[in-house]
Amino acid sequence: MPTYRIPRSCFTWLLLIAEMTSLIAVGTRPAAAQTGESGVGHDTNVVYQQLLRPGLRAPSGKVVPFPPPYLADNVDADQQQAILNELTRGASDRYLRESMVAPHVCKLNEIEEGAEGVVRGIDYWFIAYADLDAITSTDFLSGLEGDVASDEEKESLQESRALTEGDLAKRNITLAAPHAYSHGVSPEAYGQARFRLLNRVELSAVGRTYWTRTEHSAIVAFQVDDRFVTDREFPLQWSPLTRQTDGSLVTEAPQAYSGAGSYIKVTRLAEPERALFVEGHVVYWEPHGWFDGRNQLRAKIPAIVQNQVRTARREMVAASAKQATK
């Protein structure tokens, strides 16, 4: 039986705030799927629906609804073109070029600032040319995991793993049943990662991911799971890092962390042929204690997104070519 492994794209938020140059890999295989099939459609994606409404709850108590997708499933070719023209201010032809270096859009938002931290948002989109069926196949999803590669990633990422069936059972968590597009396994998975941000902060988080598919699109949604805030084995927490005289980094007393999520939607365009509209939306809470209230990650995020856009295009093209030879 095929296994659905946690795709690195599910951890876009972890990627963006950890300044990594490829998506975080998390473990091997998740817990086994239930038998039977759940419904198909993005209305069944419980993580995605929760991000939209009510939204992400920040530690301040503010609930931040995620923006809806730029491109819905139920629009025709003329409506799609009108939306693209609006997003590009009439320059959609530039963004529709079939090129690895075609332009993309990335917007950074400061949603709310309070006494203890700030809620930040990231919205980005780009066009890729690939087969939607190929990039939602078992081979492609499983292939999106792997060890971190660069020296910077190896220095930042301290550990990562998928939560097993036993881990979830101890916490009375049951995975969703398979759906028609999930290749016989659950579309839901959980993973844990512990990593460092700019050698100033060490963050440990458990993420819940859920993916759904329709005839015209696919959505992968991710959320840091608040049920693990006080978990003894996998707590959600961050710790300041202090550099010692010998150059080593020491973690100080941990503090609870919550308030981060993202979703990625890939929508098939009516035209040009094989064109896919890929959009991502990220919201996360950044405590003032991370960088003394300074937005030190802002300058790094555009370069990270650009690198990921090009990497995603290459991987999607390769998956489509592989699918075509079968």
User: 253 with 239: CB under 8 angstroms?
Assistant: yes
Q: Is 21 contained in some domain?
A: yes
Q: Which two tokens stand for residue 92?
A: 């959609």
Its domain, for residue 279, covers 8-324
Q: Is the dihedral of CA 65, 66, 69, 74 positive or negative?
A: negative
Residue 37 DSSP label: -
- Residues ≥6 apart with Cβ < 8 Å to 215: none
With vertex at residue 110, the alpha carbon angle to CA 106 and CA 111, rounded to the nearest 5 degrees, is: 115
Q: Is 46 contained in some domain?
A: yes
pLDDT (0 to 100) of residue 193: 87
- Residues ≥6 apart with Cβ < 8 Å to 89: none
Residue 97 DSSP label: -
Q: Is 112 contained in some domain?
A: yes
pLDDT (0 to 100) of residue 141: 58
Q: Is 269 contained in some domain?
A: yes
Across the 326 residues of the chain, what is the mean pLDDT of every consecutive 10-residue run?
Answer: 39 38 30 43 94 90 93 94 96 96 95 89 95 79 48 63 92 92 85 87 91 91 92 95 92 93 93 95 92 82 85 89 84
Q: The pTM is what?
A: 0.86
pLDDT (0 to 100) of residue 139: 63
**Residue 42, Cα to own-chain centre: how many angstroms?**
16
- Quote the number of domains for the chain: 1
pLDDT (0 to 100) of residue 44: 93
User: 20 with 304: CB under 8 angstroms?
Assistant: yes
What's the rounded Cα separation, in Å, for the pair 231 and 222? 19
Q: Is 18 contained in some domain?
A: yes
Q: Is 1 contained in some domain?
A: no
Q: Which two tokens stand for residue 245?
A: 């005289």
Q: Is 189 contained in some domain?
A: yes
The DSSP secondary structure of 127-172, one letter per residue, reads EEES-HHHHTSHHHHHHT-----SHHHHHHEEEEEEPPHHHHHHTT
Q: Is 3 contained in some domain?
A: no
